[in-house]
Chains A and B, each alone.
Chain A
């Protein structure tokens, strides 16, 4: 570096802020991205407030009336309740089921992404910092995991441990951590060659301090950007597993399981049981993808 030492942080700050501001401005100026962000916000709010706004508690079998089964959207039930999105085979209000399903889908998507992120970032950081045999061992496992389609790994794991929300989360973490490890290692290796790390090493700072205080915050950016899209991937994977009948249990249905339940009625013209959860799922996935893709392009991050 040719600049005097004291000026360096100021220069960094100057170079840093406009990018963030530019990215924010770019996101705000795109109508589709703005729409996607608003939609995402609505989805999160609906999921959080589901117990308060849902007309019915779909998990409480006592409040369901089997007489009201497979009613059309807008039909009135025995108890005078209006089913705006119709009912399913158990007489469950689809609107309530979707609100609660959204909760399960988002819970699984966010928790599993967070779990995979933590494990993957830790593995990638360790691999980049220590190199040698540790690096080789971690990366061999990563290559091994990425060599198989995620759906197959998750299916086989769930086939041996059974279904359940926690088990689906474990399965998705298992298939997603490896890509974060690879990204994090690559970013940390680039960062490690920079002079401030060299300076920190020469100061005699402990390795743990260098890894957590210098390396981690400076190389995690690209990984975080990619993780936005990965939430969508996680939600898709959960929906697929639940659709195949190995995902979440029937007592806590996600959007995918709701669609699976409605699938058999699709051919007989009772489209609403599968269609409305399907629309909700697709809007959720699309808006996450749009926001993630815009972030990725704005920060100029290459995907895994």
Chain B
């Protein structure tokens, strides 16, 4: 087990290193780094001074090492637009995004698992077919389009829910959250639902497939022969056996939810880190873009690492000395 963990840890570090090289090359290699890192309004003398101070006159490998060195110290540059360290800027927006992502994961599970069970228990029935057809829509329709439709329906036509912003927030342990005020929850509902839809579809598909398969297993036939009630078979035997893969996939989807929140946050003007990324791309605020990519990669790597280790711990059939995943 510890050998497996060590192996995965080394892999994770390698992925981070690879991303840092790619990002470094993308920013310093494709574009002109001087143009990217020195604000255009400075004078020629200041420009030369900044080039020297930023080390842009050094050879590329030396520049990379200094980039890596300061990145390890948590310094990924200073935002041109806001004038504060990029990492600080992103971390300040992190709670808003996490709030959205966690609620979306919750919604996906709370709505997705029962619907999946329903569809899996009677795969040929009309409602089940409707649910499964719905999941195709959930997967394939563009996220921004679904967001627009939600706004059109719940805000413009029905006037129930607000369309933009976070609403009232309260401070808990130094973090602002919308989860604890009615106004905040109203603001949170549509973006979270929009972010949850593809995940909900995935959850329904996983649970339905797992349920259909589990219902044909011998332990279910035996329980049925023994006269165990249907609800108990489903609740006790079937659900338990299908939840491990569902939990794993839910964990792995965390990273992509954070990535997809860029779209939802843009549609609903939600002040999270995804909206910050899009705004920074607009304003050519490169340090923030670089910092976002590095932090997002770190997040992915950590989450994937935890999920893999957890999965190995939960399911003894997983080969612990497995190949590079």
Contact = CB atoms under 8 A, between A and B. Distances in A.
Interface of A: 140, 143-144, 147-149, 151-152, 155-161, 232, 236, 239-240, 243-246, 256, 259, 263, 266-267, 269, 271, 274, 278, 281-282, 285-286, 289, 293
Given A149-B255, A151-B260, A259 B30 contact: no
Interface in B11-28: 15, 18, 23, 26-27
A289 B255 contact: no
Nearest to B144: A243
Given A244-B263, A286-B140, A160 B145 contact: no
A232 B140 contact: yes
Contact of B281 (A155, A239, A256, A263): A155
Given A149-B255, A152-B259, A240 B156 contact: no
A189 B224 CA distance: 43
21 contacts: A140-B324, A143-B324, A143-B325, A147-B300, A148-B300, A151-B259, A151-B263, A152-B262, A155-B277, A156-B289, A161-B30, A236-B142, A240-B142, A243-B263, A244-B263, A246-B281, A256-B144, A263-B267, A266-B151, A281-B142, A286-B137
B278 interface: yes
A249 to B, nearest CB: 14
A246 B144 CA distance: 14
Nearest to B255: A149
B30 A160 contact: yes
A3 B139 CA distance: 47
Contacts of B151: 266-267
B256 interface: yes
A251 to B, nearest CB: 18
Contacts of A151: 259-260, 262-263
Nearest to B142: A236
Contacts of B163: 267
A281 B297 CA distance: 32
A267 B260 contact: no
B148 A289 contact: no
Interface string B243-281: 000000000000110011011001100000000011001
Interface string B131-158: 0000011001111110010011001100
Given A140-B324, A266-B151, A266-B152, A289 B140 contact: yes
A293 B136 contact: yes
Nearest to B281: A159
A159 B152 contact: no
A156 B156 contact: no
A244 B140 contact: no
B304 interface: yes
A265 to B, nearest CB: 11
The 3 closest A-B pairs by CB, nearest first: A149-B259, A152-B259, A149-B256
Interface string B279-293: 001100000010001
A161 B260 CA distance: 21
Contacts of A159: 281, 289
Given A269-B156, A286-B140, A281 B145 contact: yes
Contacts of B259: 148-149, 151-152
Nearest to A279: B145
Contacts of A293: 136
Nearest to B256: A149
Contacts of A148: 259, 297, 300
A239 B137 CA distance: 16
B204 to A, nearest CB: 16
